[in-house]
Amino acid sequence: MVAKMPTLLAPGRDGGRPPTPGPYRADHIRSGEPYELSNGHRILSMGTGRRGSLANLVGGEVLETDPAVKAAGVDLGFSRDRHHLRAPDVSVGDFANEPGWDPKAPPLAVEYADTGQDEAELGKKIAELLDAGTKHIWVVRLTGPRRVEVHEPGRKVRLCKPGDTLVAPGILKNPVPVLALYDRDAAHEATLTNLLQRRGYESLDAVRVEAELKGKREGQREGKLEGKLEGQRDAVLAVLAARGLAVSGAQRARILGAEDAGVLGLWLAQAVTAETTEAALAQKSSRAGKPRRR
């Protein structure tokens, strides 16, 4: 998390003796309070800046929608014992949708490091996560050249750059492009693939192929042109559904009534990244929305 400022840290090792435990316990910290715990010592975790906030949101979206993911959360606190409480920026695992801290460390954790990052505290947090059972920690560096540090138990830290992909076997189904952890467009593309796979389509190309096949079947009865249009209509609706965008009765009628292949192709392209169905259907031609020929 960006700009973590320690208010009270455990003292360093002195003469081989472990740090003295602090007075705080996990049950002293309430949900929403800006603190983590390290060996009973509070650590103040301040809010995230604009750049880090945007990256947190889109990166978390990519991970949460992966077809293999059971649960993902932002700033999820886990407490392995009463003296420790840690909250990675993004956690991926199998935790219940219930109040309270989770007792298990997430198998996959993501931390975003931007201007003002307390590197000593970040290093301590990584060590405690790995010691508690986290298998993969991805530290997304937002200052300087964009990069992701990969921390795994018993392995040297690896550096991944834009163009590389990250994997978490047994946790994620799909490789995650480094770019998708902080770039909005790349994140949307990866998220769309995940959502389509959750609906049984391997990719957007698979949606198009199925739509074309359906269109060809329809074309045998209604003519080649109508069959192609039918496939395009179905593809637009399938992409909107896969992305979870609400389609009103009027919007559905407009899509199903469109007879311009160019307009339908435009709508399909816009449906991939549009934030609302209205935006996906923003442009229309004079032929769009006419009653379908029977």
Q: Are residues 64 and 26 in the same domain?
A: yes
Q: Are residues 122 and 211 in the same domain?
A: no
Q: Are residues 120 and 238 in the same domain?
A: no
Q: State which residues form the domain around 233.
A: 204-280
Residue 265 lies in a domain: yes
| End position of a domain, from candidates 163, 178, 193 | 178
What is the C-alpha separation between 139 and 89, in angstroms, rounded? 10
Q: Are residues 40 and 141 in the same domain?
A: yes
Q: Are residues 66 and 167 in the same domain?
A: yes
Q: Are residues 260 and 146 in the same domain?
A: no
Burial label, 13 (beta-carbon count in 10 A; 0-12, 13-18, 19+): exposed
Q: Are residues 140 and 211 in the same domain?
A: no
List the CATH number of the domain containing 120.
3.90.1570.10
Residue 197 lies in a domain: no
The series of mean pLDDT values per 10 residues for the chain, 294 residues long, is 41 48 76 70 69 85 95 89 88 90 93 90 94 96 95 96 96 96 94 90 79 67 68 89 91 91 89 91 57 44
Say if residues 190 and 173 touch (Cβ distance below 8 Å).
no
Q: Are residues 241 and 108 in the same domain?
A: no
What is the C-alpha separation between 267 and 265, in angstroms, rounded? 5
Q: Work out whether strand 108-113 and strand 136-141 pair parallel, antiparallel, or are unpaired.
A: parallel
pLDDT the model gives residue 220: 60
What is the C-alpha separation between 84 and 89, in angstroms, rounded? 16
pLDDT the model gives residue 127: 94
Q: Work out whether strand 165-166 and strand 158-160 pair parallel, antiparallel, or are unpaired.
A: unpaired
Q: Are residues 134 and 268 in the same domain?
A: no
What is the C-alpha separation between 234 and 229, in angstroms, rounded? 9
pLDDT the model gives residue 132: 93
- DSSP states of 177-199: EGGGGT-HHHHHHHHHHHHHHHT
Say if residues 143 and 153 touch (Cβ distance below 8 Å).
no
Q: Are residues 103 and 227 in the same domain?
A: no
pLDDT the model gives residue 218: 61
pLDDT the model gives residue 138: 98
Q: Are residues 33 and 174 in the same domain?
A: yes
Q: Are residues 120 and 155 in the same domain?
A: yes
On whether the pTM is more than 0.85, the answer is no
Residue 286 lies in a domain: no
pLDDT the model gives residue 10: 37
Where does the chain show beta strands of DSSP type E?
4-5, 35-38, 41-45, 71-74, 90-93, 108-113, 136-141, 147-151, 158-160, 165-166, 176-177
pLDDT the model gives residue 283: 75
**How many structural domains compose the chain?**
2
Burial label, 54 (beta-carbon count in 10 A; 0-12, 13-18, 19+): middle
Say if residues 178 and 161 touch (Cβ distance below 8 Å).
yes
